[in-house]
Homo-oligomer: A and B are copies of this chain.
Amino acid sequence: MSSVLIRGGTVVNADRAFRADVLCIDGKIAEVGDNLAAPAGAQVVDAGGQYVMPGGIDPHTHMQLPFMGTVTMDDFYSGTAAGLAGGTTTIIDFVIPSPKQPLMDAYRTWREWAEKSAADYSFHVAVTWWDESVHRDMGTLVQDEGVNSFKHFMAYKNAIMCDDETLVNSFKRALELGAMPTVHAENGELVYLLQADMKAKGILGPEGHPLSRPPAVEAEAAQRAIAIANVLNVPIYVVHVSCAESAEAIARARAAGQRVYGEVLAGHLTVDDSVYRNPDFAYAAGHVMSPPFRNKTNQDALWHGLQAGHLHTTATDHCTFCAAQKAAGKDDFSKIPNGCGGVEERLAVIWDEGVNTGRLTPSEFVAITSANAAKLFNIYPRKGCVVAGADADLVVWDPAGTKTLSVKTQKSLGDFNIFEGRTVTGVPSHTLSQGKVVYANGDLRAERGVGKYVKRPPFGPQ
């Protein structure tokens, strides 16, 4: 029996905060209460003056993503370990079949890759094409494999982009299965045209990236996906909402009674689009991801959406291409592989800009970093709540601790940090995964392969 007692802290759940000790035994939270006694042999963590929160859930990462014969710098081990160092104890990654690749093949490949994970993980599966086998495999995934969400890319023409016919078919199938459709919302046709336009104008550097993906391109796709979901009467989750127009489209649909959910990335909340105008290619390219970073007006809209409740979760889209990989687009921004890190910094950055500024209460912080994702992807309260019986995935949060974020000190194997140089107040002092202290005051004790695959049941007929 392994046990840890977290003593003297303030437990923060999405609904409230209260003084309590938390006892973890054999990977589960055994008790939450006042003055708990430490079992014999229990490790005691002093949480005095600190918050005890459910570990972060990052519902959007790409570990070990294949790219032209190489892969991203972070594999499932280093990526999940970096998450643990930042207080994130669960990731939901993506299985992305190539067009025509059977979904089950891709799924099995990713499952194998993920076995090295240091923390718990789960998978959304992308639907990138359509035929009867896809229809059937979606059923298998939901019914046998614990997948309850499917991803659709509305961008990336001539690659993994879904057309409307596939969207409609897949959303309809998701509804039958009690699964949640999700979308990367950008109109791929417009991106394609704008990329060509920029190049025709001689704009070849990273500054062309945001110019080819303006907010209107994102909002169009978001509205389209929402409209399709509305007509089919299926809920929908929009990943990485980055602009005011998309957030407004979501709010509008919700105000009409539709079940629409929105995810925001830590980067979109805190990094603005001036980075693309930096003359240093490596710097600008290091920030290339899609949708791109936006200006302050859009950032404000994202914060407001989280405050108002029409945006629900925060994530990172963690996807660490290195400088050499980014250099593939040295002479053509459209060839820069898209992706940035962040799984390690998300909680700290959002606490610093969200809670310290008065935008969010600690309970709202827990909602948007952990509890809401757990609810939307149906693993609550196993994850996302400090309550007896839940998985002992916890973060002890020191609101007075400070840290300067940097590629030099990060645990992620990426060679770039979009939050470089930012000093945050509010950091994890301890992270517990599966009831074990895996991070303590800078000391990361992540263990390869102990992370478990988390099955997520379908939504009931309700």
Residue ranges of A at the interface with B (Cβ–Cβ < 8 Å): 14-16, 163-165, 167-168, 172, 187, 189-190, 193-194, 214, 216-217, 219-220, 223-224, 227-228, 230-232, 247-248, 251, 254-257, 259, 297, 300, 303-305, 307-310, 358-359, 361, 371, 375, 380-381, 385, 462
Contacts and interface: CB of A to CB of B under 8 A. Distances in A.
Contact of A308 (B14, B224, B227, B254): B254
A254 B164 contact: no
Contact of A168 (B193, B214, B305, B358): B193
A343 B304 CA distance: 35
B310 A308 contact: yes
B16 A231 contact: no
A304 B248 contact: no
Q: How many monomers of this protein are in the complex? A: 4
A255 B305 contact: yes
Ordered nearest first, which 7 A-B pairs have the shortest CB separation? A220-B227, A254-B308, A257-B304, A164-B189, A309-B309, A223-B223, A216-B230
A462 B358 contact: yes
Nearest to A361: B462
A375 B217 CA distance: 30
Given A164-B189, A217-B231, A224-B224, A15 B385 contact: yes
A216 B231 contact: yes
Contacts of A257: 300, 303-304, 307-308, 359
Contact of A256 (B190, B232, B304): B304
Contacts of A194: 231
Contacts of A164: 187, 189-190
Contact of A381 (B16, B190, B251, B310): B16
A220 B223 contact: yes
A307 B260 CA distance: 11
Contacts of A358: 462
A108 to B, nearest CB: 31
A251 B307 CA distance: 12
